[in-house]
Homo-oligomer: A and B are copies of this chain.
């Protein structure tokens, strides 16, 4: 039954991948039906009495097995998913899907016209439904806050209190750093990254960049799309996507490494976990930790960029002919507050996240009215980023998440940053010559270290268990702030 559910999920992932990379546009309507059918059939199985009975039987058989054994983990993780899924009435689920689909369409138009008012009723319905969704979990193991069930869908076992405390520390660490760097505005020139980069050469370079990452051979492909993502049709079938921009070279340099980082995680999951709920990453935060670690700490690091530099010169002689590796390194790590989250640098990115998390919390706790959201957004942007929001399109309407009915998701991006830094620290202790290895293109030792400690375990452990296993402590802002500050010190001389 669990294998069937997994197969249905993976098939649906392929349908979604195809929809976003290959499908002729006229196929969209039929595709939506196909995806809905697979989702419905999988969900019927997930919430079935029969699965409950099978899990009871399996629990009896795995009684006494070690906590981390495959069988015990499978029963534990699957039972929790089963219990959570059964708490939500089918009608509510259907209503959420329908409403958020309408809201997403309304959002596209509202964003185009920078018209929050037209989007507001949709947002109200989304929030109302998510509140009802959260209410389904009253009395469910350990949930205390209305936001707990929302968060738990992405970070199983993490509480609002815990995440709130960590993100407050992060905010309080980042804000002075960002302020300090704002005083050095203009000290870094990243003009080499902007200009004219022929798309063919970008695609060729992107392919080479991914080829040299330690993904298993014959187990991945790279395709262009509009909104980049990575997905795994199986641990041995990784689909990376990217979007090329003629005027900016970020796609082949870092965007593909980011998506390949997600892919490296999925690709490293132990084959024996295949076709089970364990065959995914630990949590969204952990998933994001790997995209960000590979992108930011490998891909924007000096050893990697020094190695890449001659290749870049070959691909784009006009742009990089007179650019030395140090200039490239500085450009890759420029910090400057900006309005749009997805264009933000590594430092100020977290302020975008903290702000969204805080606003979500205030909305669900009831301290903030949805009608007042744009005002609150703009005030928080001024306070945290020192920027004035010129219109809602570049403000509260910029992200799809709320339109899609997704709340509790944003924090995982910053959790990913924190976890990435903790893992990066640990890997550098374990692999003392990591810089040298990266400089010579040897990325397999790092991959193997990560695979052994993190990737292969899939979703066996909760995020809290996993970080404890990895670094012997909880999620902690220290390593990340230290790393950011060290890099800023190198580049900005602060």
Using a CB–CB distance below 8 Å, which chain A residues touch chain B? 3-4, 7-8, 10-12, 14-15, 18, 22-27, 29-31, 33-34, 37-38, 41, 216-221, 233-238, 274-275
Contacts and interface: CB of A to CB of B under 8 A. Distances in A.
A24 B236 contact: yes
A4 B236 contact: no
Nearest to A27: B237
Contact of A18 (B14, B33, B38, B220): B14
A450 B391 CA distance: 54
B274 A26 contact: no
A25 B233 contact: no
Given A7-B37, A15-B11, A31 B275 contact: no
A31 B237 CA distance: 9
B11 A34 contact: yes
Secondary structure of the A side of the interface?
A: helix
Nearest to A42: B41
Contacts of A22: 22, 221
Given A25-B218, A26-B218, A218-B25, A233 B7 contact: no
5 contacts: A11-B37, A11-B38, A24-B218, A26-B219, A31-B234
A238 B24 contact: yes
This chain's copy number in the assembly: 2
A10 B34 CA distance: 8
Given A14-B18, A15-B14, A7 B34 contact: yes
A14 B14 CA distance: 8
Contacts of A26: 216-219, 236-237
A166 B315 CA distance: 64
A41 B238 contact: no
8 shortest interchain CB distances as A-B pairs: A27-B237, A30-B234, A7-B37, A26-B219, A26-B236, A25-B218, A7-B34, A26-B218
Nearest to A7: B37
A171 B101 CA distance: 59
Interface centre among A11, A24, A38, A235 (most CB of B within 10 A): A24
Nearest to A279: B30
Interface centre among A3, A29, A34 (most CB of B within 10 A): A34
Contacts of A33: 3, 7, 275
B221 A24 contact: yes
A245 B341 CA distance: 49
Contact of A8 (B27, B31, B37): B37
A377 B7 CA distance: 43
B11 A236 contact: no
Nearest to A18: B14
A236 B27 contact: yes
B24 A220 contact: yes
Nearest to A235: B30
A333 to B, nearest CB: 33
A292 to B, nearest CB: 24
A416 B11 CA distance: 33
Given A11-B38, A41-B4, A221-B24, A29 B236 contact: yes
Contacts of A238: 24
Contacts of A15: 11, 14
Contacts of A29: 234, 236
Contacts of A41: 4, 8, 41
Contacts of A3: 33, 37
Contacts of A23: 233, 237
A6 to B, nearest CB: 9
A24 B4 CA distance: 22
A180 to B, nearest CB: 46
Given A30-B236, A31-B234, 11 more contacts: A7-B34, A11-B37, A14-B14, A23-B237, A24-B237, A26-B217, A26-B218, A26-B219, A27-B233, A29-B236, A34-B233
A24 to B, nearest CB: 5
A335 to B, nearest CB: 37
Nearest to A217: B26
Interface centre among A3, A15, A237 (most CB of B within 10 A): A237
Contacts of A27: 219, 233-234, 236-237
A4 to B, nearest CB: 5
B219 A30 contact: no
A447 B277 CA distance: 48
